[in-house]
Structure 1
Amino acid sequence: MREIAYAKINLALHVRRRREDGYHELETLFAFVDAGDVLTAHPAAQDSVTTVGAFAGGLDNPFDNLVAKALSALPRARGLAVTLEKNLPVAAGLGGGSADAGAVFRMVQALHGLPDDWRTRASKLGADVPACVESRTHIGMGTGADRAEVVDDLGGTPVLLVNPRVPLATGPVFKAWDGIDRGALPQGTAREIAQAGRNDLRRPAAGLCRGIGEVLLRLRLTGGAWKVEMSGSGATCYALYEHEWQRDAAAAVISEFRPDWWTLAGKLR
């Protein structure tokens, strides 16, 4: 079996308040790129995980990552031997580990079906995991696990992802947030929300990682994008375009200017 762990981006991310349980109340518009990590698997006597790829070294313990945890969360009669090709940067605001776990859930669903409480099982692995199982545009609320539908008029939109190759942990970014509630997610279609929305974590993240500001500036200077923003808690930034040629031209300029940056050109699902 083969599954793509689709990269997650936040087209808007509004932080409303800090909850009593220590988490933050969020309102976000999730979208997914048609590329990401790749998982392949075949039936085996017991579960196993092998990690390869450009960013495999970023996982401290491949046997304790979210792929292994997702396998453990879904008991089955037979095991799965999974190879994870880690193409997405680690700690990059792309939901990489959550996307990997979501791909495992889809594999198990195809083979055996999922238990009725799969959302609860997924949420225990991470707030973004339920969203990554379905990997389609929707609104996330609460810690991100609660969901609402939205009119998706962004399918097929060209997108360029750029990361300065600097890992950025989520915890310190939330800790650096100033605590000011700047208002709810706007109403409308996915495109309207993306155009009017914001990412409340951009400023604290940019304060911790100088490369974010540099990436955002370069994406704006290349021109052609109707939306430039940081995803999640960073450090990956993205630009949305009307046409593929605009995206590809921007990707070429940025790759020439900073060949050390990581880039990914794709489309929204």
Structure 2
Amino acid sequence: MGARMLSETAYAKINLALHVRRRREDGYHELETLFAFVDDGDRLDAAPSDADRLTTVGEFAAKIENPFGNIVAKALLALPHGKGWNVALEKRLPVAAGLGGGSADAGAIFRMVEAAHGLPDDWRQRAARLGADVPACVLSTTCIGTGTGTDLDPVDSDLAGTPVLLVNPRIGVPTGPVFKAWDGIDRGRLPTGSVRAIALDGRNDLEAPAIAICPAVAEVLSALNVTDPFLARMSGSGATCFALYDGAAQMQAAADKLAETHPDWWQMRGKLR
């Protein structure tokens, strides 16, 4: 890496559709999901150092657990990258929000190591050990995830460039309780077709249990639906919801309106990658 600084965006992950099929013996769930990524997120910078160091800044930095137990530190431990890196993480995505924030940060570390040193052949297994969303977040491209979400099939997206608005009521929703509250009913497999068709015909099976735990999710969805997107849905296990629009002006107008009516809600504006 020499003395050069590396920079990456940890792109926000959304689940355009998330079908939960069954509970497994190991406590995980069999999923079928359509991952997509927004062109914005957390920001990471890294410079060579005599040891690994992690500093966090940004609106949601205080929400991060002990930096040395953090997933960024674990990602560094999982990969050869010289003596050490001094990593600065600007935490712009809310925590426990259904956006894969921590997984996206780890994914960004994997891409930085790839740029500086190359990745080991077994990088997918190393990524999966850090979390089910991490392999998808390393790629940060539209893909279908099966199994626990770690078996990935990249797909060409006819939604690339689509204006997207992310909204979170600033309430953290931990993943475990939402999965636990899922009613166990298999409502069927992920549809087939284009990415747009899968998204429109799909669903998020965790929406109902998340709303039971965090009723504000329903408020966010209602507020988004009024702005006439072609799709509004909760991402992951919540509480962040996204809305997709036909045009950037429509998305900006929706974002401005929500900023006025719900100034306490977090939002991010962008496009699908």
Scaled to the shorter chain, the TM-score interval is over 0.9
1:106 match: secondary structure: helix
User: Which residue of 1 is the match for residue 152 of structure 2?
Assistant: 147
Matched-pair contact (CA < 8 Å) for 2:11–2:42: yes
State how far apart, in whole Å, the 2-side matches of 1:104 and 1:4 are.
10
Q: List aligned pairs for 1:79-158, cutoff 5 A.
A: 79-158=84-163
User: Which residue of 1 is the match for residue 166 of structure 2?
Assistant: 161
Render the CA deviation track for 1:30-85: whole Å, top value 9, x for unaligned: 00000000000101111110011000011121221110000000023321100000
1:56 aligns with 2:56: no
Match of 2:212 among 185, 207, 214: 207
State how far apart, in whole Å, the 2-side matches of 1:217 and 1:122 are.
36
2:260 match: secondary structure: helix
2:116 match: secondary structure: helix
Aligned CA RMSD, in angstroms, stands at 0.7
State how far apart, in whole Å, the 2-side matches of 1:26 and 1:179 are.
12
2:239 match: secondary structure: coil
1:72 aligns with 2:77: yes
Render the CA deviation track for 1:202-253: whole Å, top value 9, x for unaligned: 0000000011000000001122x00000000000000000100010000011
Match of 1:261 among 260, 265, 268: 265
Match of 2:227 among 210, 222, 225: 222
**How far did residue 261 of structure 1 move?**
0.2
Write out the 4+ residue segments of structure 1 that deviate beyond 4 Å after TM superposition.
none
State how far apart, in whole Å, the 2-side matches of 1:181 and 1:37 are.
34
State how far apart, in whole Å, the 2-side matches of 1:158 and 1:62 are.
33
Q: List aligned pairs for 1:164-179, cutoff 5 A.
A: 164-179=169-184
Q: List aligned pairs for 1:177-192, cutoff 5 A.
A: 177-192=182-197
Aligned length: 268
Structure 1 unpaired stretches of 5+: none
Name the amino acid aligned to 2:65.
Answer: D
TM-score, normalised to structure 2's length? 0.97
User: Which residue of 2 is the match for residue 231 of structure 1?
Assistant: 235
Matched-pair contact (CA < 8 Å) for 2:235–2:241: yes
State how far apart, in whole Å, the 1-side matches of 2:168 and 2:209 are.
17
State how far apart, in whole Å, the 2-side matches of 1:50 and 1:129 are.
21
Render the CA deviation track for 1:129-149: whole Å, top value 9, x for unaligned: 000001000100000000123
1:247 aligns with 2:261: no
Name the amino acid aligned to 1:247.
Answer: M
Structure 2 unpaired stretches of 5+: 1-5
User: Which residue of 1 is the match for residue 3 of structure 2?
Assistant: none
TM-score, normalised to structure 1's length? 0.99
State how far apart, in whole Å, the 1-side matches of 2:159 and 2:85 are.
35
User: Which residue of 2 is the match for residue 26 of structure 1?
Assistant: 31
Matched-pair contact (CA < 8 Å) for 2:141–2:154: no
2:145 match: secondary structure: strand
Aligned identity (percent) is 66
**How far did residue 189 of structure 1 move?**
1.0
